[in-house]
Amino acid sequence: MAMDSFSASLMADKREIIFVPTVYKFQNFGQMAEEFSLSERDVVLTNEYIYTPFMKDLNLKCNFVFQEKFGAGEPSEEMIQTMYDAIPYDSYDRVIAVGGGAIMDLCKLLGCKRPSSVHELYFKRDPIVHEKEVIAIPTTCGTGSECTNISVAIVKDEKDGVLTGRETKLGLVSDDIIPNKVCLIPELLKTLPYKVFACSAIDALIHAVESFLSPARKTITSEMFSVKAMEIILEGFRHIINNGQDAVVSEVVLETPFMYYLEYLAGIAEGHILLADYEDEIEALFEAEDRWCQKRVETEVEHSPADILYIEENTSTTTLSPTQFRKYCMPYLKKYTKMMQDADKLVAYHMCGHLKLLLSDLNQLPNQAQEAFTPPPFGAATLIEGRAECPAKCLIGGCGAGQWVMDDPDKIIAYIEEQFSKLEHHRGIVLTSAGVMPPGCSPETIRQVFDWVKQYPNKN
């Protein structure tokens, strides 16, 4: 049977996405060194300003080589040859690269068999033979060059095999130069100057746009990654605009076993019926979930760079009773929160439903913040009620979709002013839409309300 034209076109499309290399995550360089048993047969290519604060005190036996000793700027023929001369090929078995884009480009070459000359290699007259393991550790947040199959260098230009006397930038492209492993160590970003961060972030945004628009490589999967990358980067830019360079990082970790059971395993109606009919079995399920949750929290507090960890409960007395909340949620919330706070993390609960009947219970929990605090009509408690019952909590929300959907700045401002005027103070109040902003609310309305809130007199 003949293949239809659409199926034939799919079969002929050879585009693919390659998921390499293996990615690891560590909190600091010492953890990475222990995991991979670094020794005197490892060469670590880095910069001295990175080595001194993060590696020097570890007293490792590796051969540390500083890239700046070979020259400044992007890799060139001369820089690469100087590096080859300084690091004999038989002096190491493995390459550890810690740095920015230039170091990532250089480390890919150190993992390959030495060419007859750098020039011959980049003009593809020498073969690329990957022989030694390469572990790449980026210290910038840009293009992801630690995962790519290209190494860029400035080389002497030629035409028809004759040197022209000029220089050109060439990319050596081969899947054989992709690093074997990548390690992400958030601690190493502490040395990243703001200007370098800004340039790296713009570079990453450009690459995301390019991959989305590229007609040669675009697939549904690559589009998905591109769009997500653009969303993350642009959201970060908006955060910097609103909060300045000094900002905090948050991360959603998990939710308690009971809420996960209701939301994802059984559903609300079926979940309550099963709990009523098979209480012992469902409670055993909660205990099994709890063991996984504790492991998840342990992993997060060890490796996450976030300042604030979220427990995303979506709690509402429309889905559970106060008695169930006290029995099935509060013990787990206390346990996970303590684990997080013992690791010096701030803890916020995302509870976006009806909380009025739970306010006194929430006040007994150890979290610092209550997020997505939703007033009527979609929630049940106002900022005034929340502050009265939970005086020590940071309340994030207070003006929900029910207000914003009016798309009337005067009415929204009047509602906020009524709440603010009745509060004894405004400490610990972060005014938000208590979740997502309704699509029907115009940017102009949001801007007008934002400007009004900024000038409103703060009561401390």
Residues 206 and 58 in one domain: no
Q: Specify if 295 maps to a domain.
A: yes
245 Cβ partners below 8 Å, 6+ apart?
194
Residue 141 and residue 240 in one domain:
no
Whether residue 273 sits in one domain with residue 256: yes
**Together in a domain, 289 and 222:** no
Alpha-carbon span 59 to 21, nearest angstrom = 28
Give the residue among 297, 300, 277, 299 at the shortest CA–CA distance from 289: 297
Q: 228, 247, 266 — which closes off a domain?
A: 247
Q: Which domain-ending residue is among 211, 227, 247?
A: 247
CA–CA distance, 148 with 18 (Å, rounded to integer): 10
What pLDDT sits at residue 1? 47
Query: Which pLDDT score is estimated for 15?
Result: 54
Residue 407 in any domain: the answer is yes
Residue 134 tokens, joined: 């390469």
Task: Give the CATH number of the domain where residue 147 resides.
Answer: 3.40.50.1970
Nearest Cα to Cα of residue 151 among 111, 203, 189, 92:
111
Phi-psi region of 128 (alpha: psi -120 to 50; beta: other; left: phi over 0): beta
Q: Which residues constitute the domain of residue 221? A: 198-247
CA–chain centroid gap for 16, Å, is 25
Residues 179, 132, single domain; the answer is yes
Q: What is the pLDDT of residue 182?
A: 93
Same-domain status, 235 and 256: no
* pLDDT score recorded for residue 183: 93
In this structure, is residue 284 part of a structural domain? yes
Cα 321 to the chain's mean position, in Å? 35
Judgement on whether residues 262 and 406 belong to the same structural domain of the protein:
yes
7 domain-assigned: no
Q: Do 163 and 242 have their domain in common? A: no
99 vs 45: CA distance, rounded Å:
8
Model pLDDT, residue 55: 94
Report yes or no on 47 lying in a domain.
Answer: yes
Question: Based on the structure, what is the number of domains in the chain?
Answer: 3
Q: What is the CATH classification number for the domain harbouring 272?
A: 3.20.20.210
In a domain, 3, yes or no: no
Same domain, residue pair 284 and 213: no
Q: Is residue 5 part of a domain?
A: no
What's the rounded Cα separation, in Å, for the pair 352 and 433?
11
The stretches of 123-214 forming alpha helices (DSSP H) are 194-213
Residue 301 φ then ψ, to 5°: -70, -25
351 and 336 within one domain: yes
> What does the pLDDT read at residue 2?
57
**Tens-of-pLDDT digits for all 460 residues of the chain?**
455 665 555 455 555 555 568 889 888 899 999 999 999 999 999 999 899 999 999 999 999 999 988 887 789 999 999 999 999 999 999 999 999 888 999 999 999 999 999 999 999 899 999 999 999 999 887 667 888 889 999 989 988 888 888 889 888 999 889 999 999 988 888 777 777 788 888 888 988 898 888 877 667 777 888 898 899 889 888 878 877 776 677 889 999 999 999 999 999 999 999 999 999 999 999 999 999 999 999 988 887 878 899 999 999 999 999 999 999 999 999 999 999 999 889 999 999 999 999 999 999 999 999 999 999 999 999 999 999 999 999 999 999 988 999 889 999 999 999 999 999 999 999 999 998 888 889 999 999 999 999 999 988 7
Per-residue model confidence (pLDDT) at position 13:
55
Answer for the pair 361, 313: CB distance below 8 angstroms, yes or no.
no
**Rounded Cα distance, 354 and 379, in Å:** 5
Amino acid 271: pLDDT:
96
User: Looking at the domain assignment, is residue 354 inside a domain?
Assistant: yes
For residues 97 and 31, membership in a common domain is answered with yes
Q: Are residues 374 and 278 in the same domain?
A: yes
Q: Please report, as a single letter, which amino acid is at residue 277.
A: D
